[in-house]
Amino acid sequence: MSTCPRCQSTEDKIRAEHKGLNAQGELVWTIFHCNACEFTWRDSEPASTIDYNKREAFFRVDPEKPYPVIMPPAQYK
């Protein structure tokens, strides 16, 4: 998985979280997480979820965008 399916961040931003094995100990899938947009995905998911070009554009995330903050931390008030 070279880029994030949601924000297209490159490999250095992506960490492999967990490998799912079957009862025989063989690899079935891997879970990844993007440190830039905090998207989590499994490499066995349908392309409509994990392929940037097949995902609905509406759901793209730009990590640089100032997303609303729920309950802004008290010390920053």
Partner 1 sequence: MSTDKKPLSATARAVGERIGSLRDFLEFLEENGQCITWTDEIMPEPDVRNIAVAAGRDSMNGPAVIFNNIAGYPGKKLVLGVHGSFTNLALLLGHPKGTTIKELFYDIISRWGDDKPLLDFIEPEAAPVNENRITDNFNLYDLLPLYRINEYDGGFYIGKANVVSRDPRDPDNFGKQNVGIYRIQVQAPGEFTLLSIPAHDMGRHIMAAEQENVPLKISVMLGNHPAMCMFAATPVGYEESEFAYASQMMGSPLRLTKSGNGMDILADSEMIIEAELMNGVRTLEGPFGEFPGSYSGVRKIPRFKVTAISHRNDPIFENIYIGRGWTEHDTLIGLNTSAPIYAQLKKDFPEVVAVNALYQHGLTGVISVKNRFAGFAKSVAMRALGTPHGTMYLKNLIMVDDDVDPFDLNEVMWALSTRTRADDTIVIPNMPLIPIDPAAEVAGKGHRLIIDATSFMPPDKLGSDSKIVTPPAGSEIDEIAKVIQLLQNGGQS
Q: Which residues bind partner 1 (CB under 8 A)?
A: 6, 17-18, 20-23, 28-29, 31, 33, 37-42, 44-46, 48-49, 55-56, 59, 61, 63, 67-76
Question: What are the backbone angles phi and psi of residue 75, rounded to the nearest 5°?
Answer: -70, -15
Nearer to partner 1 by C-beta: 14 or 37?
Answer: 37
Residue with tokens 């070279």: 2
Least distance to partner 1, CB of residue 22, Å:
6
- Cβ count near 49 (within 10 Å): 14
C-alpha span between 7 and 34 (Å, rounded): 9
Least distance to partner 1, CB of residue 4, Å:
12
